[in-house]
Structure formats: structure tokens, C-alpha cells
Amino acid sequence: MPALDVVNLNNEKVGTVDLNDEVFNAPIRRHLLTEIVHWQRACKRAGTQSALTKAEVNGTTKKPFPQKGRGMARQGSLKNPHQIGGGVAFAPKPRDYSYKMPKAKKRAALAIALSVRLQENSLKIIDGFSLPEIKTKAASAALRNLNAEKALVVDFANANLKKSMKNLKNAKFIEEAGVNVYDILNYPVLMMTKQAALSLQERLLGEASA
């Protein structure tokens, strides 16, 4: 079991926490991370692209000129894709890009992502991240003290912290229930409160044994 130091907002050690090997020291299988990231990105796609086919563009269906007698290639419609202002061949239409992913893969990939951050010494455990008021400057200063200006911060419902970090370009707040592989890999540092880390660990172990 890896034991990690627990620090406060001044980056001072205040204790330790024991983490389970199954969640924070899992074998690294990078192909699983790639698979889950592709799945997450596919699910985020809006799929709202749309273009008009030749049956949908506005225009006349009259034959533009006689078939014979002009020495030109025959044309049946000005709405064909090769004509200026015509429809699009194989026009993209709104569609849903999402697809299903087995729960076991999602759970395993999340444990791998957590393990990667631990092996890179990029996982920080803090005893708590409470701000007295909603202030972006205070959140930014706290991250700077922790040497984690570019970080994903994980906690339970924390309204002050969530709103304070909303305008930070290089950092993001997310609740424990929403922790995912894409966000973990998207930020060089993963910062979790002790309670959030233990709760996530318990949830993943419970899902594995279910």
C-alpha cells in the first residue's frame, strides 16, 4: 500500500494516508487509457454538423439547356454537387457519436490514470481546501503555494472553491463523483482532498468486488 504525505494549503506535512494498490498502484496499460479517452471525446461531440444534399437545396429542377446541339456535356440539374450552389455529395447530417463502454474498462482505466499520476509524483493529497470567500485570487495563491498552478482539484461539493476556480485557465475543480480519465490526464498535477481520495478508493474497490 503506498503511503502518501498529507499537506495543508501552506504545503506543510500534517499527516499521511494509506492508499490501496488496486486503485493507486495498478499495472499501467496505456492502451486502456487511449480507449477511454477516445470514448470520452466521442461522447462529448455535439454531432450537429449538417449540409444540404441536392434534394434539399433551393433551386429549379428545370434542365439547364438542351441535351444535344451545343457540343457541351449534358446536364440534368443545377442542383447537382458539381455545380456552383448545388448540394453536397454525401452531406454530413446530425448524428450521435457516443457509444457504450463496459463498466469494467472504465473502472480499470480510472485506476490506471490515478496510478500514473502517483508514479510521476504528480498526485498531491491535502487535508482540506476551504476558502472563506469566493475569490479567484485566493484559489490561485493556494495552488501556487502547493506548486500546482496547473492542476485538477478534486473535492466534494465545495461551492466557494468551485466558483473561485471557475476563471482559472490552467486549473479545474471537479467533484469526486465526476472524476474521469480525460481530466486526470489533461492536467499535469492531480490534487485531491484526503476525504475525496479515500471515498474514490472505496467506490472503485466496491465496484471491482460487485
How far is 57 from 52, CA to CA, in rounded Å? 6
Q: What is the pLDDT of residues 67-80, one digit of tens each?
A: 999 999 999 999 99
Domain architecture of the chain: domains with CATH: 3-45+100-209 (3.40.1370.10), 47-96 (no CATH)
pLDDT tens per residue, range 140-159: 999 999 999 999 999 999 99
Q: How confident is the model at residue 17 (pLDDT cuts 50, 70, 90)?
A: very high
Residue 140 CA to residue 138 CA, distance in Å, equals 5
> Pairing state of beta strands 172-175 and 151-155?
parallel
Cβ count within 10 A of residue 203: 16
Tens digits of residue pLDDT in 183-199: 999 999 999 999 999 99
- d(C-alpha 92, C-alpha 82), whole Å: 17
The whole-number pLDDT of residue 207 equals: 82
**φ, ψ for residue 130, nearest 5 deg:** -105, 130
Which H helix or E strand runs over 140? helix 136-145
Give the dihedral of Cα atoms 81, 85, 87, 93; nearest 10 deg.
130
Average pLDDT over residues 7-11: 91
pTM of the model: 0.85
Would you say the C-alpha torsion 12, 13, 14, 16 has a positive or negative sign?
Answer: positive
Rounded-to-integer distance, Cα 93 and Cα 85, Å: 18
